[in-house]
Structure 1
Amino acid sequence: MHTSWLTAEQYAQLSTQVQGAFIAPLPAFETLLISGPDNRKYLQGQTTCDLDQLQPENFLRGAHCDAKGKMWSQFHLVSDGEQLVVLAFRDELNASAAQWKKFGVFSKVSFASGQQHYAVFGIGGSDSEKLIKQLGFSVPAPGTLSRKPNAILLGLADDHFMLLIAQAEAQPLMQQPLPFAAPTLWLAQHIQHGFSYLEQALIGAFVPQMLNLQALDAISFTKGCYIGQETVARLKYRGGNKRAAYILTAQTDEVPAAGTDIEVQLGENWRRSGQVVNAANINNRLWLIAVLPNDTTPADSLRLSSDSAPALSLQPLPYSIN
C-alpha cells in the first residue's frame, strides 16, 4: 500500500463485518491523467470504447489490447474538463500506461500519474443511496456519474459505486464517522456484479469477450480501427470465442491468487478447465470470477485446484453474454 491519504493504522482497522451501506478505501486502484489536444483522438485508436460517446455526465468502460487482441487492461474513463482520467487496478493501469507513453510521442498528448491527485473509494451495500446523499452527491444511475467540487462518483451498478476524490479531501473524509469497510467487501460485490480487473499474472492473457466486456458496453463495434480491433471484431462476427467469465462460490477460508486453475470432473478424473481472475473471501465464503468454457453449466462439477480442493458452485450472471 503506497498512499499518502490512508495510513497503515487506518487500513488495519477496516472490517468486512459492516452491515448495510459502506464506503471502502481502494488503494490498489489508481488513476492516469491524459492531457493534450490529441488525448481523445489518441485513445480512440488505442481502446475498445468510443471516445465520441464520452460526455461530462457519463463514463466509459473500455479495454486496451495488444495487436493480437489480448488485454493489457480494462478500465473506466472519465472526462475532467479537457483532461481524461483513466481509472483501473494498479497492475493493469501500469501496463497500459507504459504502452500508451511509448507510442504517445507521435501525438500531442501527455501522461501523468493521478496518484497524487485522486484517492479512490468504493461505495456499496444496501441503502447505499442514503450514504451517497450524506456525502453530498446525487445518486448516479448505472453508466452515469455525479460531480461535486473535487470529486466524481461513478455509478457502476445498483448499489455499487466508485468515488474519485481529491487527495486533499481524502484525509478529512477518513476522519468522518462513516461506515468504513475493508476493500474486500467492495471487491466481493464487484465480483457479484460480474465485473473483473486484471492482476499482473493475467495481463495479456484474455481477449475482451473472455471477460464479458461485450455485455458490459465496454466494446464499440462501430467506432472503427483500434489496436487489436481485428481480433475482437472477428470473434463477434465470425464466432470462435469459446470462453467467458463466470461467478463461482465455495465454502472455504482460501483466497486463491489470480491465475489459479479451476478443474472440472470428467468421469472419475479431473482436468483443468479455467482460471481464477479475481477472488474475495467474506466470512469463509469465497467469491470468484473466473474464465471457463462458455458452455459451462450448473450441472458441471467444478473445484479449485488447491490442497483442499473446495467444490465450486456456479452463480447466475447479472447480465446476458449471448
Structure 2
Amino acid sequence: MNADGDVVLSNMETKLPLLDMPSTHTILTQYALLKFDGADVSAFLQSQFSSDIKTLDETNAQWSSYSNAKGRMQASFLLWRRGESFFLMLRRDIADGFRRRLAMFVMRSKVVITVLEQALLLGQYHAQGGADVSPCQHGTAAGMRIDVGRISIHCVLDDEALPVLEGNLIASQAFDLYFIDAALPWISAACYEAFVPQMTNLDLIGGISFRKGCYPGQEIVARTQYLGKVKRRMFIVEASGAECPIGADIRADVTGEQAIGKVMLSVAIAPGQYRALAVMQIAAWEGQPYVDLQPPLLLSRRDMPYLIPELQSE
C-alpha cells in the first residue's frame, strides 16, 4: 500500500491486463462507509436524499444522491438497510464533509451519523453475470454483500465475516474500471456541485424518486424531468494521451467556447490509454468532444449498458 493506504501494484499496466481478466478483487480504499442510526433516521434520510428510502429492506439497495438547494450534486452513493440501521458508501474524499453537512440538519432529530473507519470495503468483479445495475443485498450484519451486475461490494464489520475472494488482486484505483463499464456515477471532490442528478443518469438506474416528498434540490430535479429536456448525460468514453484527470473540463467546437462537461471517473487501461465516465452535453457528439488539455484529448464513445432515452432517435 502507498502512503494513502491505497493498494498499488508495480507495473500494473503490463502485468495486469484489466480488460482480459476473468475475475478480480481489491480493497476499496478510495471509498468510505457511513452508518445512520436513531429513532428518526428513516424520516430524516427520506427528507434529504433523491431516492425513496421507504422502499429499502434487507434484500435490496439503492443508488441515490444529495444535492444543494440549486439541485447540484454534493454526493452520489450506494445506500442499503440492515435492521434499523442504514449504510452508505461514497467516495472517501467527500465523506467527512458530507457527514458534517448532514449533521447540520439533524438538529433535534434522533439521528446518529458515524463514519465506520474500521469497516473493510472489498470490491469483487465476476466474469459471469448480467448487466443489470439494480443492487441486491445478501449476507449478514457482520458481512454484508451488495451485488450490482458483475460487481460485488463486500462490507465487512467483523474479521470472522471476511469472504474468500477468487481471481487477481488489483490496485484500488484500477477497480474503478468496472464501475465505469457499468456506467455507475461516483461524485468526488473534483466534481463537487458540478451536476444535476439526471446528468449522471441517476434517473435511469433508480436513483431518483419523482413521487416522494421534498428534499434539497427537489424542485430543480423535478423541473428538469417534467418541464425541460435533459441536455447533458453521462457517457462511457475512451481517449489516448498522457493523462485523463478526474474533474477536467470537456469542450467541443460544435457547442462553442464554454466548457460543456467534466470527466467524472477515469482509469488507465493501457499505457497512454484511458477509459472514463464523462458527463457532457449530448449535442457535443455532433462534432468531436475533447478533454481540455494540451494537447487536447479526443474522446470516443463506447456502448452503454443501459439505454439513454435522448439517444433513441439516433
- Verify same fold: TM over 0.5: yes
Match of 2:71 among 53, 69, 72: 69
1:283 aligns with 2:270: yes
Match of 1:265 in 2: 253
Distance 1:50 1:147 in 2: 23
CA distance in 2 between partners of 1:67 and 1:141 (Å): 28
Spell out the pairing of 1:122-271 with structure 2 (5 A cutoff).
122-127=123-128, 142-148=134-140, 150-157=142-149, 159-166=150-157, 168-169=159-160, 179-254=168-243, 256-266=244-254
Counterpart residue type for residue 67 of structure 2: C
More deviation, 35-44/185-194: 185-194
Question: Mind listing any 5+ residue stretches in structure 1 that lack a counterpart?
Answer: 130-139
Residue number among 15, 20, 30 corresponding to 1:28 in the alignment: 30
Instruction: Give percent identity, aligned residues only.
Output: 24
TM-superposition CA deviations, 1:22-66 (whole Å, max 9, x none): 111111101111110111110000001111100101011111111
How many residue pairs get matched? 302
C-alpha change, 1:302 and 1:75, in structure 2 (3 Å) is same
Q: Following the alignment from structure 2 to structure 1, what is the Cα–Cα distance between the partners of residues 26 and 154?
A: 10
User: Does residue 312 of structure 2 align to residue 320 of structure 1?
Assistant: no
Partners of 1:173 and 1:11 in 2: CA distance: 21
Residue in 1 aligned with 2:49?
47
- Aligned AA (2:121): V
Cα deviation for residue 167 of structure 1 reads 5.5
Q: Say which SS state the counterpart of residue 93 (structure 2) adopts.
A: helix
Q: 1:229 is matched by which residue type in structure 2?
A: Q
Change (3 A) 1:98 1:2: farther
- Counterpart CA distance in 2 for 1:229 and 1:272 is 25
Q: Aligned partners of 1:45, 1:61: CA distance in 2, in Å? A: 16
* Other-structure match for 1:134: none
In the alignment, residue 278 of structure 1 is paired with which amino acid?
L
Mapped partners of 2:99, 2:67: distance in 1: 12
Residues 179/312 of structure 1: CA separation in 2 closer, same or farther (3 Å cut): same
**Is residue 22–residue 127 contact of structure 2 (8 Å, CA) maintained in 1?**
yes
**Equivalent residue number for residue 97 of structure 2:** 95
SS in 2 for 1:88: strand
Cα deviation, 1:200-234, whole Å, max 9, x if unaligned, reads 12211211011111001000001111121111111
Question: Structure 1's 173 and 180: CA in aligned 2 closer, same or farther, altered over 3 A?
Answer: farther
Q: CA deviation at 1:149?
A: 5.7
Q: Deviations over 1:114-142 (max 9, x none)?
A: 112x211111141479xxxxxxxxxx984
Tell me, what secondary structure is at the counterpart of 2:216?
Answer: coil
Q: Distance in 2 between matches of 1:314 and 1:43?
A: 36
Give the counterpart of 2:111 among 76, 92, 109. Answer: 109
> 2-side partners of 1:177 and 1:41: how far apart?
40
| In 2, Cα distance between equivalents of 1:244 and 1:146 | 31
CA distance in 2, matches of 1:296, 1:217: 26
Contact 2:75 2:188 in 1 (8 A): no
Following the alignment from structure 1 to structure 2, what is the Cα–Cα distance between the partners of residues 270 and 302?
A: 12
CA distance in 2, matches of 1:182, 1:167: 23
Looking at structure 2, the residues matched to 93 and 215 of structure 1 have their Cα atoms a distance apart, in angstroms, of 25
Separation (CA, whole Å) in 2 of partners of 1:273 and 1:106:
42
**More displaced stretch, 91-100 vs 284-293:** 91-100
The verdict on how the C-alpha distance between 1:234 and 1:161 changes in structure 2, with shifts beyond 3 A counting, is: same
> Which residue of the partner structure matches residue 135 of structure 1?
none
5+ residue gaps, structure 2: 310-314
**Paired residue for 1:274, among 244, 254, 261?**
261
Alpha carbon RMSD of aligned pairs, Å? 2.9
Q: State how far apart, in whole Å, the 2-side matches of 1:253 and 1:163 are.
A: 33
Aligned partner of 1:132 in structure 2 is: none
Q: Which moved more, 1:50-59 or 1:197-206?
A: 197-206
The answer to whether the 8 A contact 2:254-2:284 is kept is: no
CA distance in 2, matches of 1:243, 1:75: 20
